[in-house]
């Protein structure tokens, strides 16, 4: 494993090994145990579009392991605006650091960058493309919450058409033999270029009530206003896909709700105190998972 551009760059075995190590690193991620496994190592964080969550979790992961970060949090701080190409920028920064984290608004930028980076390159999200560390932390969360990540019935709800997190997660969950239920309005349904490649059972639904009582996991994504030409239409659709504690009376008591955050109105705050809410633990899980990935990529000792 040199670069991590897409979740499909990782074998099942590699994924399991990262998740196993992430579990061991939870006390370090919480600051209860100390580690120096990345002592003296430098991660360059290059954000050609801002993403506070991704940046903070990587910086935390690096520092908890004794490493440091250099980089920029938004493109106005770089010579990118002066017309420097991505490839030139990556070549330079790869000379300064032991690994590079790239966030970029255009699809395929991470693949292009990896072809020009001498050190491991991690894709921190490229446009509507890939965000493999999000998928790793989603898998880790499912495994932690359910005690396993195969043979589950996983529902995905909301914007399945443009939501890259649900595309990558679907592929990964299919590898581990889960059953997928896609719940969305027709206009935001899972694209065929995703479902064509799925090797597991899956089904599509318009209504959450159709499948809710069978689900082990419900993965909720935000329906974005920008996807609708008409504000009225948006309000109608968005209100039909709101999860509240009332609705959850029909769910299995072991059912857990995940969300990549930030949420707006799609999960009502009265769900936060129920046993179903796993999304804040999911957000924390980004740290140990990224720690485990960084250790494997830049060869820190265990």
- Which of the residues are catalytic? 53-54, 82, 103, 131
Q: Which of 59, 98, 126, 266 binds another protein (CB under 8 A)?
A: 126
171 vs 290, beta carbon nearer another protein: 171
Which listed range, 14-22, 121-129, 222-230, 244-252, lies at the site for another protein (CB under 8 A)?
121-129
Lookup result for tokens 């399945």: 160
User: Which residues face 243 on adjacent strands?
Assistant: 267
Which listed range, 18-26, 28-36, 81-89, 174-182, lies at the site for another protein (CB under 8 A)?
81-89
d(CA 129, CA 96): 27
128 touches another protein (CB under 8 A)? yes
Count of residues in the chain? 302
Which listed range, 105-113, 152-160, 177-185, 214-222, lies at the site for another protein (CB under 8 A)?
105-113
Site string for another protein, 139-178 (x = CB under 8 A): ----------------------------------------
3 vs 259, beta carbon nearer another protein: 3
Lookup result for tokens 């590699």: 14
87 vs 198, beta carbon nearer another protein: 87
129 touches another protein (CB under 8 A)? yes
The neighbour count for residue 252, using CB atoms within 10 Å, is 14
Exposure string for 260-278, b = 16+ CB within 10 A, e = fewer: beebeebbeeebeeeebbb
CB of 110 to another protein, least distance (A): 9
Total residues at interface with another protein (CB under 8 A): 18
112 touches another protein (CB under 8 A)? yes
d(CA 153, CA 146): 11
Of 55, 53, 105, residue with least CA distance to 80: 105
CA atoms within 13 A on the CB side of 254: 12
Say if residues 200 and 178 touch (Cβ distance below 8 Å): yes
**Residues in contact with another protein by the rule CB under 8 A:** 6, 83, 85-87, 104-109, 111-112, 126-129, 193
């Amino acid at each position: 494993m040199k670069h991590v551009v897409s979740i499909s760059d990782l074998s099942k075995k590699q994924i399991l090994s990262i998740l196993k190590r992430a579990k061991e690193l939870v006390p370090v991620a919480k600051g209860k145990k100390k580690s120096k496994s990345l002592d003296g190592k430098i991660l360059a964080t290059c954000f050609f579009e801002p993403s506070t969550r991704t940046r903070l979790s990587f910086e935390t992961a690096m520092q908890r392991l004794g490493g440091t970060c250099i980089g920029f949090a938004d493109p106005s701080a770089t010579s990118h605006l002066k017309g420097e190409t991505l490839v030139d920028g990556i070549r330079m920064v790869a000379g300064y650091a032991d690994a590079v984290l790239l966030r970029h608004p255009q699809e395929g930028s991470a693949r292009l960058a990896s072809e020009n980076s001498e050190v491991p390159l991690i894709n921190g999200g490229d446009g509507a493309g890939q965000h493999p560390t999000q998928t790793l932390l989603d898998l880790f969360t499912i495994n932690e919450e359910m005690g396993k990540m195969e043979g589950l019935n996983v529902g995905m709800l909301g914007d399945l058409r443009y939501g890259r997190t649900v595309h990558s997660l679907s592929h990964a969950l299919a590898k581990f033999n889960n059953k997928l239920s896609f719940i969305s309005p027709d206009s935001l349904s899972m694209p065929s270029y995703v479902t064509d490649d799925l090797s597991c059972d899956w089904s599509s639904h318009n209504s959450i009530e159709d499948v809710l009582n069978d689900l082990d996991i419900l993965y909720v994504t935000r329906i974005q206003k920008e996807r609708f030409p008409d504000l009225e239409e948006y309000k109608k659709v968005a209100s039909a896909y709101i999860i509240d504690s009332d609705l959850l009376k029909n769910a299995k008591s072991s059912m857990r709700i995940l969300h990549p955050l930030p949420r707006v109105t799609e999960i009502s705050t009265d769900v936060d105190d129920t046993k179903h809410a796993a999304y804040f633990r999911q957000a924390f899980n980004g740290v140990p998972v990224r720690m485990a990935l960084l250790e494997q990529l830049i060869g820190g000792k265990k």
